[in-house]
Structure 1
């Protein structure tokens, strides 16, 4: 007897349908349900709370004093440091992501070749990724310390500087060092993403291009790079999100100081928490909207979901 005929007969007999038929009606829900619940609890609920908090009036001790309407957003946009922080965030994101993608492309191309010790160099690249980003940032902070840092000691012994320099106290030198650390910790993931893409390029295509008289550079431009595009876009999008939202590198090295001169929007949001929690939440909402807008614009410009003709 089939399941379709068993269910009506069971109802006529006053019995429940078999458990298998009831489960089949749910379709894939039992399988995707835990994932959906996790997304709701970990992503959607915090976003809702963040938006709700930005419309409240909250005391410094954390007690809600009523609705604030749009006052916190007006207060945020009246902050004298906000414009400078936004400019710093754009420059920080473009510089770190650009350098990361260029260096990762070169490293991926290198690791795709056969040379002695390739396995160990690949393992060594994992180290910045395996270590805590905050721990790495603090390590560089100690190295750049004005009084006992290794860099000042080395440069002074070599006669390159007359006295110790406060590398992280001056925004002009702090930004390049923070960018260096951000690129350093971003290289492993991006390099391995591009390396995985390179290893999917069929060797036969390069051999055919060589037979047709194409140079190695022409073969790279016309075969390798177009086929590497999906992996490149994945690495680029994830780096844009991570670097734009980067917090441990800046906070671990300068805490956004002095006076928010080395702060991005994420660090500035954390600084606002000390004076106004609701305004900090408003900055979080603005930051979240900027990330979503940035990714959507990028995917539209890059035609992520359209195939090449």
Structure 2
């Protein structure tokens, strides 16, 4: 009987010992803190860059927007929210923001549509495909300001290549001894600036979409053909959904770049005549020569608009992915 009791107690001790070995020991608070901070040395350079190149300029921008700075650049002290009130009371603000919305939508929409067609073309095999791909990089590799200057020269009302060619073809007529002044007319100038913006934006967007197309497995298309799906059905059911992540990245980058675009408009028209071709970024720079505080306030508004646009787009894209 005693031997049975000893055996049972020994078995219980062995079982308890095994359970103790199997049970994970909760790390102490110091160990958890050390584990959480372990990646910090690797992240420190990136965090420092973000703090120096993003957070600090944003803070300085906000500080400037609340200062009373005269035209000579002297800081006269805190100005509260008066700079923001002055910006919202500006009679040109509504037209500038509306023009900015049209500018962003037109450039991004045309860029994505044209780039999608180019990406589909370059994803096919044809003679000289590599050369054509290289040639597409040229507008992207060139300086945006240099490209804008070239287009401004080409649109010169007297001897610009575009005006001379259009006149020789009889598309435009002379008046007052000169060619049509495209950049002197706000409406025509906006059309041409959209053309230039699309011209410099298409290469990057095409390559982003081309990378997305190249990552789609060929087996998926083979399965669709076996199931009898046509080209249109295959595109909408397979290609477009699988291309959505690459398209999201391309649209987001284009939204931010186009909204903040400065060289094209300032080089071609300077925002004139009378700020009729200014977007919010160009108008912000124009305000700088008149009132630095109001320019800072408008820059804060622009920053907020970009953040809102990005968040709305990401939210809408996330919901569409869930539905699909």
Structure 2 length as normaliser, TM-score?
A: 0.86
Distance 1:209 1:55 in 2: 60
In 2 relative to 1, CA 80–96 (structure 1 residues): closer, same or farther, beyond 3 Å?
same
Pick the aligned partner of 1:91 from 99, 102, 109: 102
Unaligned runs of 5+ in 1: 1-22
Larger mean CA deviation between 211-220 and 276-285 belongs to 211-220
Larger mean CA deviation between 260-269 and 199-208 belongs to 199-208
1:16 corresponds to which residue?
none
Distance 2:86 2:172 in 1: 44
1:19 corresponds to which residue?
none
Post-superposition, which runs of at least 4 consecutive aligned residues in structure 1 deviate over 4 A?
Answer: 23-26, 304-309
Map residues 146-157 of structure 1 onto 2, 5 A cutoff.
Answer: 146-157=157-168
2:137 corresponds to which residue?
126
Distance 2:319 2:293 in 1: 36
Q: CA deviation at 1:158?
A: 2.3
Pick the aligned partner of 1:102 from 113, 125, 131: 113
1:199 aligns with 2:214: yes
Backbone CA RMSD of aligned residues: 1.6
Map residues 32-71 of structure 1 onto 2, 5 A cutoff.
Answer: 32-71=43-82
Q: Is the 8 A contact 2:173 2:180 kept in 1?
A: no
Distance 2:246 2:288 in 1: 38
Q: CA deviation at 1:98?
A: 0.4
Q: CA deviation at 1:156?
A: 2.0
Secondary structure at the counterpart of residue 77 of structure 2: strand
2:152 corresponds to which residue?
141
2:303 corresponds to which residue?
288
Q: CA deviation at 1:24?
A: 8.3
Map residues 1-309 of structure 1 onto 2, 5 A cutoff.
Answer: 27-163=38-174, 164-303=179-318
In 2 relative to 1, CA 305–50 (structure 1 residues): closer, same or farther, beyond 3 Å?
farther
Q: CA deviation at 1:307?
A: 5.2
Distance 2:106 2:310 in 1: 17
Distance 2:132 2:322 in 1: 35
In 2 relative to 1, CA 241–45 (structure 1 residues): closer, same or farther, beyond 3 Å?
same
Secondary structure at the counterpart of residue 303 of structure 1: helix
How far does the alpha carbon of each residue in 1:158-195 deviate from its partner, in whole angstroms, 9 at most, with x for none?
Answer: 23222101101101110110000000000011100000
- Number of residue-to-residue matches in the alignment: 287
Q: CA deviation at 1:26?
A: 5.0
Distance 2:95 2:247 in 1: 31
